[in-house]
């Protein structure tokens, strides 16, 4: 799980161009949107693409993202339980 | 009352200047635009999400407005007019690459956002809270007469008291932005906004 969390942080930094952020600076349980990393709606769509492209998880309902993208740990847990890649 | 160039900036892949004065940018492993962003100590993380076209326009406007105490006060009277030759073709191609193959069909939302050239005007307007007219024109080639003509038309609107006008091009190896803040003025000490001034200042920027 720790490895998955670290990989996920690296992937998010790359795909969202968070050039000023290092993986260790992202707290596992910190909110990704609003406070925390301060991501926006386009970032949310990009995370949905990341889930499908890297882990074969297709979110048919974008509203699912609201729950899934609460934190890195929530994302990683969902990926661990549902990944197809 | 004529139009004058109040301030101007120039950036390409290797040099940057404001009002003809070179901006020192430390050489390093980072791309020039990123190095310039850091050199000016800009704090705007959204910069890293922009495509090259928007980065050019954004940084040129930073050089124009930095140090202006009222820059973040919402202003209705400042218009933004940008021109180029290649539209957003660079981002169009990058986005198209994400949808080219059936098995690797992952359209990128963040690339799609920049598949319109006028996004650069929006980035500048949002950053500086400029609520005046914005427009982006694609020309066959750099044409200072088109800039002068369109800016003159913008001033026909009584609400417009200043125009941020730029030639901003980013395609393959051709990256540059030349931006001017144009205002109405009647003193003889200011630089007139004219075809001759545009050509002279652009060449000065290109020559570093």
| pLDDT of B62 higher than 90 | yes
Q: What is the mean pLDDT of residues B38-50?
A: 92
| pLDDT of B188 higher than 90 | no
Angle in degrees, CA B53, B179, B89, rounded to 5:
20
Could you tell me which residue, B153 or A66, shows the higher pLDDT?
A: B153
Residue A78 confidence (pLDDT): 95
Note the pLDDT tens digit of each residue in A29-75: 988 887 777 788 899 999 999 999 999 999 877 778 888 999 999 99
Residue A39 confidence (pLDDT): 86
Residue A61 confidence (pLDDT): 79
Q: Which of A16, A18, A49 lies nearest to residue B106, judging by beta carbons?
A: A49
Best to test chain A binding among B43, B109, B112, B119 (most A CBs inside 10 Å)? B109
Confidence of residue A20 (pLDDT cuts 50, 70, 90): confident
Q: What is the mean pLDDT of residues B15-38?
A: 93
B97 inside 8 A of chain A by CB: no
Listed residue (B147, B74, B82) closest to B117, CA to CA: B82
The CATH number of domain B2-206, selected from 3.40.50.2300, 3.40.47.10, 1.20.1370.20, 2.170.150.20: 3.40.47.10
Q: Which residues of B touch A43 (CB under 8 A)?
A: 110
For residue B48, the chain A residue with the least C-alpha distance is A17
Q: Does A16 contact B108 at a Cβ distance shorter than 8 Å?
A: no
Residue B157 confidence (pLDDT): 94
Q: Does A42 contact B110 at a Cβ distance shorter than 8 Å?
A: yes
Listed residue (B51, B50, B56, B25) closest to B38, CA to CA: B25
Q: What is the mean pLDDT of residues B157-185?
A: 95
Pairing type for strands B162-171 and B21-22 reads unpaired
Q: Does B109 contact A38 at a Cβ distance shorter than 8 Å?
A: no
For residue B114, the chain A residue with the least C-alpha distance is A42
Q: Work out the percent of chain B whose per-residue pLDDT is above 70.
A: 99
The C-alpha atoms of residue B46 and residue B126 are separated, in whole angstroms, by: 11
Q: Does A49 contact B108 at a Cβ distance shorter than 8 Å?
A: yes
Confidence of residue A81 (pLDDT cuts 50, 70, 90): very high
B38 inside 8 A of chain A by CB: no
How many CB atoms within 10 Å of residue B140?
7
A39 inside 8 A of chain B by CB: no
Residue A50 confidence (pLDDT): 95
The CATH number of domain A2-82, selected from 1.10.1200.10, 2.40.110.10, 3.40.50.720, 3.40.50.300: 1.10.1200.10
Q: Work out the percent of chain B whose per-residue pLDDT is above 90.
A: 85
Residue A18 confidence (pLDDT): 87
Q: Which of A18, A38, A49 lies nearest to residue B109, judging by beta carbons?
A: A49
The C-alpha atoms of residue B32 and residue B45 are separated, in whole angstroms, by: 17
Could you tell me which residue, B148 or B186, shows the higher pLDDT?
A: B148
Best to test chain B binding among A38, A53, A85 (most B CBs inside 10 Å)? A53
């Amino acid at each position: 799980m720790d490895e998955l969390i670290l990989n996920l942080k690296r992937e998010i930094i790359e795909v969202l161009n968070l050039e000023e952020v290092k993986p260790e600076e992202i707290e596992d349980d910190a909110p990704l949107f609003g406070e925390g990393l301060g991501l926006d709606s386009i970032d949310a769509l990009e995370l949905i693409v990341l889930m499908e492209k890297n882990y074969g998880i297709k979110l048919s309902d974008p509203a699912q993202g609201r729950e899934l993208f609460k934190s890195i740990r929530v994302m990683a847990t969902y990926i661990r339980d549902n990944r197809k890649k | 009352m004529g139009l004058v160039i109040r301030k101007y900036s120039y950036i390409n892949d290797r040099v940057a200047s404001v009002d003809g004065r070179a901006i020192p940018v430390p050489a390093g492993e980072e791309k020039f635009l990123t190095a310039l962003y850091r050199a000016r100590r800009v704090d705007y993380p959204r910069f890293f999400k922009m495509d090259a076209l928007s980065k050019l326009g954004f940084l040129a406007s930073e050089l124009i407005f930095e140090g202006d105490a009222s820059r973040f006060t919402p202003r209705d009277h400042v218009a933004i007019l940008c021109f180029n030759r290649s539209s957003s073709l660079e981002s169009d191609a990058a986005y198209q690459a994400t949808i080219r193959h059936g098995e690797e069909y992952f359209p990128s939302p963040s690339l799609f956002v920049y598949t319109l050239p006028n996004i650069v005007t929006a980035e500048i307007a949002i950053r500086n809270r400029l609520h005046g007219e914005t427009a982006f024109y694609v020309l066959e080639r750099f044409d200072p007469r088109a800039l002068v003509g369109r800016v003159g038309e913008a001033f026909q609107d009584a609400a417009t008291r200043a125009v941020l006008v730029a030639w901003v091009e980013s395609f393959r190896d051709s990256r540059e932005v030349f931006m001017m803040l144009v205002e109405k003025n009647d003193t003889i000490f200011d630089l007139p906004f004219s075809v001759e001034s545009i050509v002279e200042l652009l060449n000065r920027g290109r020559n570093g």
